[in-house]
Amino acid sequence: MRSWVLPVASFRTGLGRETARMTYTPHRIERLYFSSAAPTSLLERMEELAAAADGWINVLPKPDDDRAIRTSLGFLALLGGGASGLTMWTWIPRDQSRRDRLTTRLGISHVKRCRAATIVPPVPLGWRVEQDHPRRGLVLAVPPEEAHAAVATWALRATEALSARPVIAWRADVYLPARPSRAHSS
């Protein structure tokens, strides 16, 4: 695995030293295929990422030509939403090391050009809608104690409701933890 050193700033401090540098280690990506009836592999990866408090999962309906669809959102996706032309949801586990990330995040990008809340199943009690925008999609804050199966089931149903075509199977791109899992480290 490669790691890059990114300069935090490219100027020198008044003390004649360069500013601090940070190390970035890219995430490895694992691709999974599953059905709505049997999302076991997805739930196992959600557990792994939650234990590590790192990584994320992008889930979309399995397209006919799997190689043509990228799940990484580029800059233009921020402006237009639904960059892949398909509905996709992203799950990000909570990060216990950062105060501002005490909840799990669930986001759905879509191409319906309307507020997702008018189409998806009702948002479960305790979940908070942080954004529901026709172009930028739906973002939810999910309590960290919520069962992964409940989150995945709701997200799959919501994605089916927002998809232009019937969903037969699913593809998940799992961005594995860049740092070792807290559950496995001693």
59 neighbors 44 (Cβ within 8 angstroms): no
Q: Whose CA is closest to 168, among 62, 59, 71, 85? A: 62
Give pLDDT, residue 184: 44
Give pLDDT, residue 33: 95
Low-confidence ranges of the chain (pLDDT < 50): 1-13, 68, 73-83, 181-186
| Count of C-beta atoms within a 10 Å radius of residue 73 | 18
List 92's β-bridge partners, or say none.
105
Give pLDDT, residue 115: 83
